[in-house]
Amino acid sequence: MKTGWEHFEHQADIGIRGYGRTMSEAFEQAAMALTAVITPPGGVATHDAVVVRCEAPDRELLLADWLNAVLCEMSALHMFFSGFEVAIEGNKLTATLRGEPVNQHHHQPAVEVKGASYHHLKVAEDEAGGWMAQCVVDV
């Protein structure tokens, strides 16, 4: 069963993909891939915690809402996150984001992500019972 995250090519934008044993874990890994578009997640400490809640009519829209909520918190709080604990019940998500304030010198952000799009938006369980969550983010 595959776990972790990756990026995939998509014209001028960047595709992100998270894998996990559960849908929640795949969402966590997709958020890690989102952070990795901007800065290496390994360089982001997990000192501070923020709670996020989302609700959407289906799991694909929940993924897009989740990633946009992470981006919103990054922007509003001027923080980067590298720790994600996601709980999903039906079409409701509650998560704790762990990170630290942005330090331009230390983090050296590569690009600004504008938002998660609906391009290649997919949340699916594979035949082995693992989960994949993906979309394209606008940069």
> Any idea where the domains of the chain sit in the sequence?
4-138
Secondary structure letter of residue 90 according to DSSP: T
CA dihedral 125, 127, 128, 131 (to 10 degrees): -10
- pLDDT at 79 (0 to 100): 96
What global pTM score does this model have?
A: 0.94
Q: Which two tokens stand for residue 10?
A: 């998509």
Residues 6+ apart with CB under 8 A from 131: 19, 20, 21, 22, 23, 25, 26, 123, 124, 125
Residue holding tokens 């989102």? 34
CATH of 4-138, one of 3.40.50.300, 3.40.140.10, 3.55.10.10, 3.30.1360.200: 3.55.10.10
- Give the rounded percent of residues in the chain with a pLDDT score beyond 90: 81
Q: Which two tokens stand for residue 25?
A: 């874990």
Label the pairing between strands 131-138 and 13-20.
antiparallel
pLDDT tens-digit map of 3-37: 899 888 877 789 999 999 999 999 999 999 999 99
Residue 100 has pLDDT above 90, yes or no: yes
- Give the rounded percent of residues in the chain with a pLDDT score beyond 70: 100
Q: Which of 27-36, 54-63, 101-110, 118-127 has the lowest mean pLDDT?
A: 101-110
Higher pLDDT pick, 20 / 108: 20
Residue 108 has pLDDT above 90, yes or no: no
pLDDT tens-digit map of 64-78: 999 999 999 999 999
Residues 6+ apart with CB under 8 A from 59: 23, 88, 91, 123
